[in-house]
Chains A and B, each alone.
Chain A
Amino acid sequence: MRFRAFGRRCIAGVVVCVASLFAGNALAQDRPPLNERVTPAIFETVFPAADRLGEVEGQPPFMRAYAGDEQLGFVFSTYDVVRAPSYSPRPFDAIVGMDLAGNLTGVQVISFHDPYLTGFPERVRQLAEFFRFYVGYNISGQRAFPAQPDFVQGTTISARQMRAGVLDAARVIDRATSDRPPVTEPTLDLDAFTVMNWGELMEMGALAHRAVTFGDVREALAEAGVTPVEMEVPLGRPDLALNPPRFDCRFVATRACEIDANLVRENDEIYTDLYFALVTPAMIGRNLLGSDLYARYLTPQPPGTHMLAMLSAGPYDFRGLGFYRDENGNRFDRFRLVQGETEIVFTRDQHQMVGGLRGDRPRLPDVSVFFIAPNSGFDPVAPFEIVLMVTATTETGEQATIDIPIAYQVPDDVILMPFVEPAPPWVEAWADATPQLVILGIALVILTGLFIFQKQLTMSRRAHAWIRNAFLLFTLVWLGWIAGGQLSIVHVVNYLKAPFDGVDIGFYLAEPLIVVIGIYVLLSLILIGRGVFCGWLCPFGALQELTAKVARFLKLPTWDPPERMQRWMWLPKYGTAALIVGAAFVAPAALAATEEIEPFKTAITSVFTRPWPYVAYALVLVGMGLFTERFFCRFLCPLGGVLALGDRLHIFTLLKRRPECGSGGCHLCERSCPVRAIERDGKIIMAECFQCLDCQVEYYDEQRCPPLAKGRKVRERASRARPQMGVPVPAMAMSAAASKPAMGPDR
């Protein structure tokens, strides 16, 4: 198709030439004409494979590079094409070679005005070295830039600017000289070509191969339940042992003996050794058939025709004799092409016999090319199968055919993919974070499960304590210290400011863990309240709680404000939140300082590695938490304040109460609440509740919750009275209460 393409190129060239009459003159005088600048030495450097150059043509100007009569690519100058500046406003000039497939073949910078290059021969040498790495680089930009050596400072900027100029120029030339429209979907690359031998074609996957042995055919026939009586290539006998040669043959080789011996076909003997390939792409076709045959076969075909080359050795060649028979419709009956719903059986007029092909390849005497018509529904870039067919006549005189399918997919190297903009940074961030997202996902599923099976969890004091401590440890160590997933007031500020900032969504999306936690927190805030985050997912909260648990274990004294005082003490956290959000809008310069109210950066994200004043502040807060549970959370935390405000929206309250709670005269839960979120009247202040579920453990404790205990005693008395109707006492509750008798009052 390349030949037709030239025709079209010429027509396009006329239009361009007319344009160049106007544009050309102004530029022509700036620098010597292109063919003078490209000296033989430079030509050799930028296009080693070519041996001669064509005339300067086109606007912007370029020259075609040939090896013999065959065009290999183009040579042009960046100055003529894009006049790109480098580290100087005066454009540099580089001569560039590019092959037909858009791979750079060489770059030589011939003039520049960069202050950091002029007079530094060492740097100039490095610049040449820099571009050597771009030989073979495809200008489509689908591959990353090649790895480069490190650079002396000063040339790097120039080199990269020049690289941009070279690639821009090459793209312009590529577009101007190519008639292929930019592909919008995967398309077969018909024109790209580099010399490849048989081995390289095999490695690339350009050829499908299947060696079918006599044994395979026997097996397939047996499987299909066919006993062949007659076949085009008879199977003969598997080996000599079954039918030893006649006695006299051991001494004289008569003709009868020869026939007899020929009938022996061992199981691993080749029935047919078949290779085939889609040869429409020049990369495969020209390498397999040679340039002459490739062009001779393809050129007369209507555009859109595809060529399939079949090659085989062995007695059962792919052609057979069927195509000689008119009554058979001149069809080839030994194979067909299958692609999804489409089945193609080739006929004699779609066939081209090819003489033997030479070269370093297996001996394959039978070679043919088959033409696939443009309207056949065949999709060259989709996988297809060649189904080898072996027909046998059975004892009853019927024809039975067995199918041996062989799969094929044209290799990616000859498929042009549409240009894709490089993925934005956040996509990379999500890919990087996949393992972390999996861990977080599992943790969130578990957490959700805990809230769904809250009752079952809190019925067992011991299970609740273990699970809760383990989860907090996970939150602190993994989520906080390792993954750096501490949600913070900084995020709230960022999200609030987003509409005014113009920052685009990618900025937020680039933090996968925070995005996921943020969404989870928002949902849980609306459904249950702020406690899901503060009680379970905040690493700094977990740090305070875990250290406080140690303090309780060591029986350190505790202090909590009285109820009325506490109501006042709850307020400053709203103040700190307002201060930070206010600063974000009114005094952005002070924002960073106000955000230091939050010790998260110190204690969590940087694991106490900041300077001592910050560490000391964080420690004071953790220290207060030893004596007053979650001191910072309850009274100061700006994020807690924002969440507590949002808590007003929550829909469900899962925490159970009894009429006896508080005003009913019992204060057990109230005292069990580590953060004193239950007031004397028994009401839970949800904005201050951390969903730790300690109160629910009391709620279900048959030993300690007075209404439950009363019921239990009644039942026990009843069962003592009538032991035969014994009501089982929940063993778990008994043992838990027995093993930790001091837990409740100690709080």
Chain B
Amino acid sequence: MTLVDARPTPLGLSRRQALKVVAATAALPLGVLGLRAIGPTPQFHTWNGEVLGAVSSLTLWHSNANFARTTMQRMASEIGRLERIFSLYRPDSELRRLNADGMLEGASRDLRLVLTSARFIGLATGGAFDPTVQPLWDVYARHFASPGADPAGPSGFALDAARSLVGYRDIDTDGGAIRFARQGMQATLNGIAQGYITDRIADLLRNEGFQHVVVELGEARVLGDHPEGRPWRVGLRDRAGATDRMVDLSNGAVALHGGYGTVFDESGRNHHIFDPVTGRSAQTMLDVAVVSGRATDADAIGVGIYVAGEERASAILAQFPGTRAIITRRDGTTVTIG
């Protein structure tokens, strides 16, 4: 029995050896083809739930059902945590406590991040997007809740009072605590908080290596393309609820804002998108769909453009590379900007 190292070196390969190397190298892809033929095939796995009061779902494309299910359970766990921060239904949520007390010590990183992006987009839209319009909302809701309400909307006097409480610059997020500069100020993170949750889950999923994902947690964002190799097709609902309009989307988010989304009165003139300057519902366009990389941005920019109007849209979009807006004018014509 010999102990001599008999391994040949690659340089000294015999003809036979070289053939073997080639054959083995070719065998591997064949093995993979075989494995793909007999192994599990990827398919969609869906999670359904409610997030911040909106019907939500998560759709993953993966071949391992176990892995997909575990992943969705982990995401559900994370969604639950974020809900405990942003929910307007839970009296102990951070947002409710912030609005009630006007300040919040030891706010979570998530709440601070959302307020920071809100502030940033507020700046970028010249104040057209403002997260502190909640007092206006209250005035409208109260006005139209009473019988025989003036269809024109609340009185200028009531609005002035509420408007004095609006101002995104007056949210102080320095340090660990969040503070409103004036008593009675309130933030509504409706939309942007959903956008944040959507982004957060999408990012986590991307890090887990999922390539074809639809995240609809109040806002819609997709990862990659449809597994068929085309972009995802997202239907945009119109005033009547039909979804004939489609946007192609890959690796991005889309948010649709129209004055008809939530209306206070039958005429639909008074709705939830307020112009912080006038205190009235904005009437610039029918609706706007913003496509952006992140759901947080898409939502807030959309509100900003809706309030600011078509003329200022390109200036706003220019500050967010890779963002475009599809505006439906009041006369029904459509224009894409950006």
> Could you list which residues of chain A lie within 8 angstroms of chain B, going by C-beta atoms?
29-31, 87-91, 113, 115-116, 120, 153-154, 156-157, 160-161, 164, 424-426, 428-429, 432-433, 436, 481-484, 490, 493, 500-504, 506-513, 547, 551, 554-559, 588, 591-592, 595, 601, 605-611, 615, 619, 622-623, 626-627, 667-668, 671, 703-704, 741, 744-747
Cα A605 to Cα B62 in complex, Å, equals: 9
Q: Is the CB of A484 within 8 A of B64?
A: yes
Chain A CB within 8 A of B164 CB: no
Q: Is the CB of B241 within 8 A of A703?
A: no
Segment 1-55 of B: residues with Cβ below 8 Å from A: 1-10, 13, 17, 20-21, 24-25, 28-29, 32, 35-36, 39-42, 50, 53-55
Q: Is the CB of B206 within 8 A of A592?
A: yes
B3 is contacted by which of A156, A481, A506, A668 (Cβ under 8 Å)? Answer: A668
How many of chain B's residues have a CB under 8 angstroms from any CB in A? 69
- Which chain B residues border A160 with CB–CB below 8 Å? 50, 53, 55
- Known contacts A115-B261, A154-B241, A704 near B1 by CB under 8 Å: yes
Chain A CB within 8 A of B262 CB: yes
Chain A CB within 8 A of B144 CB: yes
Cα A90 to Cα B9 in complex, Å, equals: 81
Q: Is the CB of A510 within 8 A of B77?
A: yes
Chain A CB within 8 A of B236 CB: no
Q: Is the CB of B35 within 8 A of A608?
A: yes
Further pairs besides A425-B73, A559-B10, A607-B64: 5, Cβ < 8 Å: A156-B55, A502-B81, A506-B74, A623-B25, A671-B3
Cα A703 to Cα B1 in complex, Å, equals: 9
Instruction: Give the segment of B95-103, B207-215, B307-315 that binds chain A.
Output: B207-215
Q: Is the CB of B73 within 8 A of A610?
A: no
- Known contacts A88-B263, A607-B64, A504 near B81 by CB under 8 Å: yes
Q: Is the CB of B5 within 8 A of A30?
A: no
Smallest CB separation, A197 vs chain B (Å): 40
Chain A CB within 8 A of B105 CB: no
Smallest CB separation, B241 vs chain A (Å): 5
27 contacts between A and B (CB under 8 A): A89-B141, A116-B241, A154-B241, A157-B54, A157-B55, A160-B53, A425-B74, A493-B207, A504-B78, A506-B74, A510-B70, A547-B28, A551-B24, A554-B24, A555-B20, A556-B20, A557-B9, A558-B7, A559-B9, A588-B203, A605-B62, A605-B64, A607-B64, A671-B3, A703-B1, A745-B1, A745-B3
Interface centre among B9, B63, B260 (most CB of A within 10 A): B63
- Known contacts A557-B21, A622-B28, A623-B28, A507 near B209 by CB under 8 Å: no
Chain A CB within 8 A of B137 CB: yes
Q: Is the CB of A89 within 8 A of B262?
A: yes
Interface centre among A507, A509, A610, A668 (most CB of B within 10 A): A507
Smallest CB separation, A93 vs chain B (Å): 11
Smallest CB separation, A301 vs chain B (Å): 41
B70 is contacted by which of A429, A503, A591, A744 (Cβ under 8 Å)? Answer: A429
- Which chain A residues border B89 with CB–CB below 8 Å? 164
Number of A-B contacts (CB under 8 A): 187
Cα A406 to Cα B3 in complex, Å, equals: 82
Cα A605 to Cα B89 in complex, Å, equals: 38
Interface centre among A424, A502, A606 (most CB of B within 10 A): A606
Cα A734 to Cα B208 in complex, Å, equals: 51
Cα A501 to Cα B203 in complex, Å, equals: 13
A424 is contacted by which of B29, B66, B80, B140 (Cβ under 8 Å)? Answer: B80
- Known contacts A484-B70, A668-B3, A90 near B144 by CB under 8 Å: yes
Chain A CB within 8 A of B157 CB: no
Q: Is the CB of A511 within 8 A of B109?
A: no
Closest to A591 in B: B207
Closest to A432 in B: B69
Chain A CB within 8 A of B175 CB: no
- Which chain B residues border A153 with CB–CB below 8 Å? 241, 243
- Which chain B residues border A554 with CB–CB below 8 Å? 20, 24
B40 is contacted by which of A493, A506, A509, A609 (Cβ under 8 Å)? Answer: A609
- Which chain A residues border B158 with CB–CB below 8 Å? none
Q: Is the CB of A606 within 8 A of B42?
A: yes
Cα A605 to Cα B300 in complex, Å, equals: 37
Cα A116 to Cα B5 in complex, Å, equals: 80
Smallest CB separation, A426 vs chain B (Å): 6
> Could you list which residues of chain B lie within 8 angstroms of chain A, going by C-beta atoms?
1-10, 13, 17, 20-21, 24-25, 28-29, 32, 35-36, 39-42, 50, 53-55, 62-64, 66-67, 69-70, 73-74, 76-78, 80-81, 89, 108-110, 137, 140-141, 144-147, 203, 206-209, 211, 237, 241, 243, 260-264, 272
- Which chain B residues border A619 with CB–CB below 8 Å? 28-29, 32
- Known contacts A623-B25, A746-B6, A30 near B203 by CB under 8 Å: no
- Which chain A residues border B21 with CB–CB below 8 Å? 556-557, 627
Q: Is the CB of B63 within 8 A of A607?
A: yes
- Which chain A residues border B64 with CB–CB below 8 Å? 481, 484, 605-607
Smallest CB separation, A118 vs chain B (Å): 8
- Known contacts A161-B53, A426-B73, A429-B70, A608 near B32 by CB under 8 Å: yes
Q: Is the CB of A89 within 8 A of B73?
A: no
Cα A88 to Cα B263 in complex, Å, equals: 7
Smallest CB separation, A561 vs chain B (Å): 12
Closest to B1 in A: A741
Q: Is the CB of A607 within 8 A of B40?
A: yes
Q: Is the CB of B78 within 8 A of A503?
A: yes
B147 is contacted by which of A29, A559, A746 (Cβ under 8 Å)? Answer: A29
Q: Is the CB of A615 within 8 A of B209?
A: no
Smallest CB separation, B296 vs chain A (Å): 14
Closest to A508 in B: B74
Q: Is the CB of B262 within 8 A of A510?
A: no
Closest to A607 in B: B39
Cα A601 to Cα B7 in complex, Å, equals: 34
Q: Is the CB of A745 within 8 A of B260?
A: no
Cα A107 to Cα B10 in complex, Å, equals: 81
Smallest CB separation, A27 vs chain B (Å): 10
Interface centre among A87, A115, A506 (most CB of B within 10 A): A115
Cα A606 to Cα B43 in complex, Å, equals: 11
- Which chain B residues border A608 with CB–CB below 8 Å? 32, 35-36, 39
Closest to A79 in B: B145
Closest to B108 in A: A502
Q: Is the CB of B77 within 8 A of A504?
A: yes
Q: Is the CB of A90 within 8 A of B32?
A: no
Cα A508 to Cα B264 in complex, Å, equals: 43
Q: Is the CB of B77 within 8 A of A606?
A: no
Cα A88 to Cα B203 in complex, Å, equals: 31
A506 is contacted by which of B4, B80, B141 (Cβ under 8 Å)? Answer: B80
Smallest CB separation, B254 vs chain A (Å): 17
- Which chain B residues border A703 with CB–CB below 8 Å? 1
- Known contacts A89-B137, A607-B39, A506 near B77 by CB under 8 Å: yes
Smallest CB separation, A26 vs chain B (Å): 10
- Which chain B residues border A490 with CB–CB below 8 Å? 207-209
Smallest CB separation, B221 vs chain A (Å): 14
- Which chain B residues border A504 with CB–CB below 8 Å? 77-78, 81
Closest to B13 in A: A557
Q: Is the CB of A164 within 8 A of B53?
A: yes
- Known contacts A507-B77, A626-B24, A29 near B146 by CB under 8 Å: yes
Smallest CB separation, B25 vs chain A (Å): 6
Interface centre among B32, B41, B69, B237 (most CB of A within 10 A): B32
- Known contacts A490-B208, A588-B203, A30 near B262 by CB under 8 Å: no
